[in-house]
Structure 1
Amino acid sequence: MQAGGLAEILAPCLSVVFCGLNPALSAARDGHNFSNRSNRFWRVLHLAGFTPRLLRADEEREMLRYGLGLTSAVSRPTKSASELKNHDYVNAAPALESKIRNFAPANLAFLGKAAYAAISLRTHVEWGRQPDEFAGVSIWVLPNPSGLNRAFNLARLTEHYRELKLAL
């Protein structure tokens, strides 16, 4: 269980665990991950082929049926992920590493560059599969599906997520 009462969607040996930067205040209030209507996570998962139908935030546990999981790099909810600093990600990294080692998914997909850049001490991170591993698993960096991320329209977001889906 993350801060704010949000459930982590985790089980052993999943194909991929999606790792959000941190929970939104709206998600903490609603009690479900990616519950804000402007967030495109559930739509992108479906359009990229991870789920056979569009899931709602209150159906988040259904992800497990498709070999998918969900966690956050930092468990503290904020109005915007821009409120987090590098040290927040670095301080949260040991708990994330322990969790990933324990559940051993095949892939960990960071949703946005900030957490992975801070944790890996990289100043430049490309989208897609990363050359190194974290906690013994393959790493992907995908664009953040937040409605605040205006740099990626739905089609471009879906392309990046589909790249991971096709690699599974």
Structure 2
Amino acid sequence: MLTDIIKKDLTIIFCGINPGLTSAQYGHHFSNRSNRFWRVLNQAGFTPHQIAPDDDATILDFGYGLTTAVERATVRADELSKEEFHNSIEAFKTKMNHFQPKYIAFLGKPAYMAFSGKKQIAWGLQPEACCGAKVWVLPNPSGLNRSFTLNDLVGYYRELYQAIV
């Protein structure tokens, strides 16, 4: 099980699709060595150094939090069913309404597509809010997502960073 790293009034809550097996096993977000999240966050400007997965809770010090759209851990996000996303919507909305972040950054399109009911979405800022927060959709930093180079990821994440500073 992977525990949210979250508190009220954060600038951004980064929302992964679901935990990977390595993250669930070790209890730390983005702990698979092939995942590029922590490197991208640092290179995009969010953190002054690259956070180690074991120190994932320190992300709160920078005004950011971590959660997942679906709790069940899998090797690949495409192992999740539409029903699992559908069954997660209300709990996710309750959580976001309680913690009230300024932004929700979905890491990958599947969760936001399922939650919004949209068939197509673009990367970046979305036209509608979710639970009072601005929504941003970023490419998934998973090592399995080789459609995006490290530089591509840093560019997309930097756009969000520049929007909040």
TM range (shorter): over 0.9
The equivalent residue for 2:77 is 81
Q: Select which of 29, 32, 35 maps to 1:36.
A: 32
* SS in structure 2 at match of 1:134: coil
Question: Which amino acid letter does the alignment assign opposite residue 14 of structure 1?
Answer: L
The answer to whether residue 144 in structure 2 is matched with residue 165 in structure 1 is: no
Q: Select which of 43, 48, 51 maps to 2:44.
A: 48
Question: Which amino acid letter does the alignment assign opposite residue 123 of structure 1?
Answer: K
Q: Separation in 2 of the partners of 1:87 and 1:48?
A: 34
Question: Which amino acid letter does the alignment assign opposite residue 160 of structure 2?
Answer: L
* SS in structure 1 at match of 2:28: coil
1:86·1:115 contact (CA, 8 Å) conserved in 2?
no
TM-score by length of structure 2 reads 0.98
Q: Select which of 63, 70, 85 maps to 1:67.
A: 63
The equivalent residue for 2:111 is 115
Q: Separation in 1 of the partners of 2:111 and 2:83?
A: 10
Unaligned runs of 5+ in 1: none
TM-score by length of structure 1 reads 0.96
Q: Separation in 1 of the partners of 2:54 and 2:158?
A: 23
Q: Separation in 2 of the partners of 1:137 and 1:32?
A: 25
Q: Separation in 2 of the partners of 1:93 and 1:73?
A: 8
The equivalent residue for 1:9 is 5
Question: Which amino acid letter does the alignment assign opposite residue 63 of structure 2?
Answer: G
Pairs aligned (count): 164
The answer to whether residue 134 in structure 2 is matched with residue 150 in structure 1 is: no
Question: Which amino acid letter does the alignment assign opposite residue 31 of structure 2?
Answer: S
Aligned-residue Cα RMSD (Å) equals: 0.7
Q: Separation in 1 of the partners of 2:161 and 2:82?
A: 29
Identity, in percent, stands at 49
What do residues 42-73 of structure 1 show as CA deviations (whole Å, max 9, x unaligned)? Answer: 00000000000000001111101100000000
Q: Select which of 122, 131, 134 maps to 2:130.
A: 134
* SS in structure 1 at match of 2:8: coil
Q: Which runs of 4+ in 1 moved over 2 A?
A: none
Question: Which amino acid letter does the alignment assign opposite residue 52 of structure 1?
Answer: P
**Cα drift, residue 31 of structure 1:** 1.3
**Cα drift, residue 7 of structure 1:** 1.9
* SS in structure 2 at match of 1:140: strand
Question: Which amino acid letter does the alignment assign opposite residue 68 of structure 2?
Answer: S
